[in-house]
Structure 1
Amino acid sequence: MAPEPMDGSAETREASPEGIPPVAVPGGEVRPMAEAAGLTGWAAPDPLTPDEPPEIGLDVEGVSTSIVTAEPQRDPQGRFRLSWPLPPLLRDGVARRVRAFHMLSGQELDGSPLTLAAPPLPAAPPAATPDAAADGAHAMGLRWPEGLAGMRPAGGVTPIAEGVLGETDAPGGYLRFQLLAEAPEGPQAPRRGIRLVADAVAPVVCLHFRLGEAVADQPMAWEVTAWLPEATEAHVKARFDITLERREGPVFHTLRRLRRGTLFRRPSDHAFEITLAPEEAALLAEDGVWIGLIARSAKGLSAWLPSLGPAPLPEAARFEDARLDEAFAHAVGFVRVHGEARREAHPLLPGLWEPPPPARATARPAGQAHPFTQVILPVYNGHDEVRACLHALRAAATGPMQVVMVDDGSRDFTAEMLRAEAMADPRFILHRRDNNRGYTKSINEGVLLTGADWVVVLNSDTLVSKGWLDRLHAAALARPGTGMVGPLSNAATWQSVPAAKRPDGSWSTNAVIQPRHLARMQAILDEVSERAYPEFPVLNGFCTLIAREVFDRVGLYDEDAFPTGYGEETDLCLRARQAGFRLTLADDCFVYHHKSVTFGQAERTRLSRQGGLEMTNKHSGVIVPALERIMQDCAPLGRLRARLSNLAAELD
């Protein structure tokens, strides 16, 4: 739903059936078009950008929210003209309430909400295309009259936004579209993109972008970032063509191919240049010329809107040919993932690779207590295990700590228990969502809600021992350049002790260790651990200490590929390693892990398989067996497991 009006704005009210104009308020006004076929009016500029047409949100009851950019035309009061015809799919005579509000401030426009109920369109299609602007003044992608997300029948061209069409040749089925948005740092305008997903692999999935008349003046360099939105098989990739097109009604004709490449699960940049021939420039007076992005034998296509001018090579570029420089960057990333992340030199790259600067060090306060750390605890049901986790966190605290509990719409007694825990201890903060959105979105929200230099992403089915944060931070300090630290556990794949796997090859949960053994297990580790703090290529995500700088450099967890988890931590680890961060194992810290609280074993197996599929496609150049061999052959951990060979007797 759209945000509520801010203080001082108009209250929500229905349009007057008698035609009495509502009381004017700052921000603008809207009224229905003839036959309620849309709305029109005026919108005041946003205070931060008074010379630019504002963005207006249109919340259509029971349907979606659309974004409309006002037109450049202004009235004597300095307000921008606003018009929004109802999309053809809403021209069905059904009365729907529409609210109009400023996207920046949330201030509702005068006359909103109003009711629109346009009569059905005639059988013959109208002459104007739904994606064409009234005066041609708008750039592609600035208007989304079809809504920010939706579903359309597959098998033809469908309007997505102004100047943006989607297409798939898959017969039957459906095509889902979704707005992608990213707010960059600094004064740059937000990036927008489109995600198209079909219900099955299609021979061709296309995005068509209309170009303006500016392309006729001179040759222009363009770039586009594109990727596959979903993994469909173990080693998926798709052929990718960028074409120059002309349009005749619902049919696009290729004028010529501008570039050919390959799409993977991870985003890739594709630069191309457009120089129009005279006969092509003549097409601008009709429906313009179009850029076509075509993925072949794919289930979907995601892309940011094409933009002018590819990014220049960095000042430290080593090769005149950008392709060689890009290939060298991939080689460096390969070495960082499969070797030591901060190794000064490597036989494959002699004298060419300078390691990145060390991660920002955090000063320790007096007494050598660990620095202020915020623990992100995503929660979904699991009442008893979650409560035990919170009590363990409280009992184990030895330094400045805050726990941010992200309740992802728990349905049992968990929600009430979390409220009680938050009220009982000021170090426990509750952030609740009424709807379940998934594990990865929960931890990303937690990262955005926190501000400490170090955070811990902790599963709610864990038990921490006293001084656990001291030990994790000690590992980070012991190995300069560390960006992520993980502990040992009874059930954490390669971080498990005393055994990583069972005789049948499956992952061990080391049932000999029970929750009641937590303190004793930590005491044993204090005695036998070498505190070697080995470097690992990936860390299990059940408990991970992460430097804020990791998120600043490589971004958050990937919600698109891993919405329910099961792979999101490995993806972040690989991106961190490619950026030059070290991943360190705290081989003297133990955290108990219950496993399978939120999901049962069968569901965990399915999600794990799906996450592995996404991982293989997103990081196609990573040699997973090589990474596993590094963790399997870790000498300090092998010696530690040998010392724990008689653990059952020591625990009892």
Structure 2
Amino acid sequence: MKPLLASIVVLSFNQLEKTTRPCIESIYRHTDPEKFELIVVDNASEDGAPQYLRGLMAEHDNIKICLNKTNRGYAGGNNDGMKLAEGKYIALLNNDTLATPGWLEQLTDILAKNPGTGLLSPITNYAGNEQCVELPGITEKNYCEVARVYTHRRRNSLFETEKVGFFCVAMPSWVPERIGFLDEAFGMGLFEDDDYCLRVKNDLGLSVCVTEGCFIFHKGSSSFKKLDPARYQALFDRNRKYFCEKHNIQWRFGDIAEAFLAKLEKDIESYETGGSEKSRHIESIRVRLTHFRNAIFQLKHFETDFISMNSQGAAEAEFQGDHWRLRGKLTRRLGKIRKSIDRKLAGIFRK
């Protein structure tokens, strides 16, 4: 019997019609059923999800379900799924995502060709880091066609980063066997993905990477959007504190902007030496500019909050320095190619 290529783990918690059902339908629509098993973990949904999942088992012979009696949180639920996985690779996929044609093969092929990569994640329309790209006109209905225009020239592309979002992440199955599963001390969620990225890099010496040849549509943190802002902030603060103490590091909003900048600078360098591929590199720069500006805005917002709580002049200078250094550095690097970007942009997405 041919070894199973991959185990796809989807975590479900309520919002069956809005997220879980469309996600699963997109998986079966765009993924070769002979190459994967689907493991759906339900965290005590009260919207009919358990009944729906039992029905799926009657329709498909490559699905497993785990029906938890309590909400075990993001880490706990995904861990339950990973413990059932039998594939050579494991892909964690949020239920508020939609798959695209060939997404799984793109991720597993790259992992197979790059044994030094421990975690691999795609690009998306909704994320808080440089995985996020702005593709004009993309919607839940046309995302496959729009994304394909961008990804088809970037198959098997790879760039290394510090952290990836776990809306979709793939790994060899031996990774959790060696370093363990997600840390359930993070509770409902937040920072468990940052934690796992650091563990893969520090404990295994492997890279954390993103491919621009694979796109996953992300509706965006459906569970967290329902949280009261005060509760969300309390969870964020608690988990950030735990994360920093666990790794003996500081977590900064500026790190996100730095990661965006590193990707942009790499694309600028590629543009300057790209020859006939210049339009592709221009496109990679352009689709991230808005989100980079947003990262700078978040950094500035954090500065304001921090300074209001800390009146020390040194702290103010440090955070303002981060903001102006990042923005100034980007402006200087982009200045000499901006007119060329604007000139060529109109034709890029039609190619």
Q: Quick one: distance in 2 between partners of 1:420 and 1:622?
A: 47
**How far does residue 414 in structure 1 lie from its aligned partner after superposition?**
2.0
For normalisation by structure 2, the TM-score amounts to 0.69
Structure 1 match to 2:20: 386
User: Between Structure 1 and Structure 2, how many residues are aligned?
Assistant: 272
**How far does residue 581 in structure 1 lie from its aligned partner after superposition?**
1.2
* Contact residue 377 and residue 460 of structure 1 kept, 8 A: yes
Structure 1 match to 2:169: 544
Structure 1 match to 2:181: 556
Determine whether 1:600 maps to 2:225: yes
* Contact residue 97 and residue 216 of structure 2 kept, 8 A: yes
* Contact residue 512 and residue 648 of structure 1 kept, 8 A: no
Give 1:471's match in structure 2, choosing from 91, 94, 106.
106
* Contact residue 159 and residue 210 of structure 2 kept, 8 A: yes
Q: Quick one: distance in 2 between partners of 1:568 and 1:647?
A: 40
Structure 2 match to 1:284: none
Runs of at least 5 residues in structure 2 that lack an aligned partner in the other structure: 269-280, 289-344
Aligned sequence identity (%): 21
Give 1:425's match in structure 2, choosing from 49, 52, 60.
60
Deviations 1:347-402 (A, max 9, x none): xxxxxxxxxxxxxxxxxx8xxxx961001111110111110001000011135101
Q: What one-letter code is carried by the residue in structure 1 that aligns with 2:285? A: A
> Any idea what SS the aligned residue of 2:198 has?
helix
Q: Quick one: distance in 1 between partners of 2:346 and 2:90?
A: 32
Q: What one-letter code is carried by the residue in structure 1 that aligns with 2:200? A: A
* Contact residue 489 and residue 495 of structure 1 kept, 8 A: no
Q: Quick one: distance in 1 between partners of 2:255 and 2:20?
A: 36
Structure 1 match to 2:277: none
**How far does residue 538 in structure 1 lie from its aligned partner after superposition?**
0.9
Deviations 1:170-212 (A, max 9, x none): xxxxxxxxxxxxxxxxxxxxxxxxxxxxxxxxxxxxxxxxxxx
1:95-244 alignment, distance < 5 Å = none
Determine whether 1:566 maps to 2:195: no
1:430-469 alignment, distance < 5 Å = 430-469=65-104
Deviations 1:592-619 (A, max 9, x none): 1111322325547433343323222222
Structure 2 match to 1:629: 258
Q: Quick one: distance in 2 between partners of 1:649 and 1:535?
A: 25
Structure 2 match to 1:521: 146
> Any idea what SS the aligned residue of 2:26 has?
helix
Structure 2 match to 1:163: none
> Any idea what SS the aligned residue of 2:159 has?
coil
Q: Quick one: distance in 1 between partners of 2:197 and 2:157?
A: 20
Give 2:201's match in structure 1, choosing from 567, 570, 577.
577
**How far does residue 647 in structure 1 lie from its aligned partner after superposition?**
9.1
**How far does residue 588 in structure 1 lie from its aligned partner after superposition?**
0.9
Q: Relative to 1, partners in 2 of residues 1:637 and 1:372: Cα closer, same or farther, differing over 3 Å?
A: farther
Structure with bigger RCO (C-alpha 8 Å, 6+ apart): 2
> Any idea what SS the aligned residue of 1:491 has?
coil
Deviations 1:5-58 (A, max 9, x none): xxxxxxxxxxxxxxxxxxxxxxxxxxxxxxxxxxxxxxxxxxxxxxxxxxxxxx
Q: Quick one: distance in 2 between partners of 1:539 and 1:603?
A: 26
Structure 2 match to 1:611: 239
Q: What one-letter code is carried by the residue in structure 1 that aligns with 2:241? A: L
Determine whether 1:620 maps to 2:253: no
* Contact residue 441 and residue 559 of structure 1 kept, 8 A: yes
Deviations 1:601-650 (A, max 9, x none): 55474333433232222222366545752443114567343364869995
Deviations 1:206-240 (A, max 9, x none): xxxxxxxxxxxxxxxxxxxxxxxxxxxxxxxxxxx
> Any idea what SS the aligned residue of 2:83 has?
helix
Determine whether 1:375 maps to 2:12: no
**How far does residue 478 in structure 1 lie from its aligned partner after superposition?**
4.0
> Any idea what SS the aligned residue of 1:522 has?
helix
Q: What one-letter code is carried by the residue in structure 2 that aligns with 1:642? A: I
Deviations 1:277-302 (A, max 9, x none): xxxxxxxxxxxxxxxxxxxxxxxxxx
Q: Quick one: distance in 1 between partners of 2:241 and 2:148?
A: 39
Q: Relative to 1, partners in 2 of residues 1:552 and 1:602: Cα closer, same or farther, differing over 3 Å?
A: same
> Any idea what SS the aligned residue of 1:541 has?
coil
* Contact residue 119 and residue 209 of structure 2 kept, 8 A: yes
Q: Relative to 1, partners in 2 of residues 1:447 and 1:593: Cα closer, same or farther, differing over 3 Å?
A: same
Q: What one-letter code is carried by the residue in structure 1 that aligns with 2:146? A: M
Q: Quick one: distance in 2 between partners of 1:612 and 1:423?
A: 42
**How far does residue 420 in structure 1 lie from its aligned partner after superposition?**
1.6
Query: Which has the greater radius of gyration?
Result: 1
Runs of at least 5 residues in structure 1 that lack an aligned partner in the other structure: 1-364, 500-509
Q: Relative to 1, partners in 2 of residues 1:603 and 1:408: Cα closer, same or farther, differing over 3 Å?
A: same
Structure 2 match to 1:8: none
Q: Quick one: distance in 1 between partners of 2:182 and 2:221?
A: 21
Q: Quick one: distance in 2 between partners of 1:648 and 1:411?
A: 48
Q: Quick one: distance in 1 between partners of 2:153 and 2:68?
A: 44
Q: What one-letter code is carried by the residue in structure 1 that aligns with 2:48? A: F
Q: Quick one: distance in 2 between partners of 1:537 and 1:404?
A: 28
Structure 1 match to 2:333: none
**How far does residue 461 in structure 1 lie from its aligned partner after superposition?**
0.7
**How far does residue 417 in structure 1 lie from its aligned partner after superposition?**
1.7
Q: What one-letter code is carried by the residue in structure 2 that aligns with 1:575? A: R
Q: Quick one: distance in 2 between partners of 1:564 and 1:617?
A: 19
Structure 2 match to 1:498: 133
Structure 1 match to 2:320: none
Deviations 1:230-279 (A, max 9, x none): xxxxxxxxxxxxxxxxxxxxxxxxxxxxxxxxxxxxxxxxxxxxxxxxxx
Structure 1 match to 2:304: none
Q: What one-letter code is carried by the residue in structure 2 that aligns with 1:552? A: E
Q: Relative to 1, partners in 2 of residues 1:446 and 1:629: Cα closer, same or farther, differing over 3 Å?
A: same
| Higher strand content, 1 or 2 | 1
Q: What one-letter code is carried by the residue in structure 2 that aligns with 1:616? A: C
Q: Quick one: distance in 2 between partners of 1:513 and 1:491?
A: 11
Structure 2 match to 1:240: none
CA RMSD of aligned residues (A): 2.8
Q: Relative to 1, partners in 2 of residues 1:378 and 1:540: Cα closer, same or farther, differing over 3 Å?
A: same
For normalisation by structure 1, the TM-score amounts to 0.39
Q: What one-letter code is carried by the residue in structure 1 that aligns with 2:160? A: E
Q: What one-letter code is carried by the residue in structure 2 that aligns with 1:569? A: D
Q: Quick one: distance in 2 between partners of 1:480 and 1:537?
A: 17
Determine whether 1:641 maps to 2:266: no
Q: Quick one: distance in 2 between partners of 1:428 and 1:648?
A: 43
